[in-house]
């Protein structure tokens, strides 16, 4: 469990499961292609949607909620990291969104 930069996340897009824990309205403003959208409050009840055999990177707006998601996922036995700076950092770096 670690904080990873947006550039590290971009390099791992096809290896890790990217879980966006923001709310619906935030995701509607733009998300990283290929992310799985599970709002933080729904994460405990939707763990079955994630593959335990693949690493997870949690994403939110600024890195705070995804940090909480990362802690929860680690306690549940997942190999997970937190995207530092969240979508604010991703967009500031000019990386692609849909």
Do the beta carbons of residue 86 and residue 75 sit within 8 Å? Answer: no
> One of 9, 16, 60, 83 is an active-site residue; which one?
60
Q: Does residue 60 have an active-site annotation?
A: yes
Computed from CA positions of residues 27, 33, 39, 45, in that sequence, does the dihedral angle turn out positive or negative? positive
Q: Indicate the Cα dihedral angle 47, 66, 10, 8, nearest 10°.
A: -110
d(C-alpha 92, C-alpha 70), whole Å = 23
Catalytic center residues: 60
């Amino acid at each position: 469990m670690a904080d990873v930069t947006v550039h590290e996340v971009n390099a791992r897009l096809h290896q890790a499961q990217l879980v966006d824990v923001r709310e619906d309205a935030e995701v509607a403003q733009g998300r990283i292609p290929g992310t799985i959208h599970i709002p933080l409050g729904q994460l405990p009840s939707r763990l079955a949607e994630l593959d335990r055999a693949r690493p997870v990177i949690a994403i939110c707006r600024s890195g705070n909620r995804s940090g909480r998601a990362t802690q929860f996922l680690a306690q549940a036995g997942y190999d997970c990291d937190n995207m530092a700076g969240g979508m604010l950092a991703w967009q500031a770096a000019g990386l692609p969104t849909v």
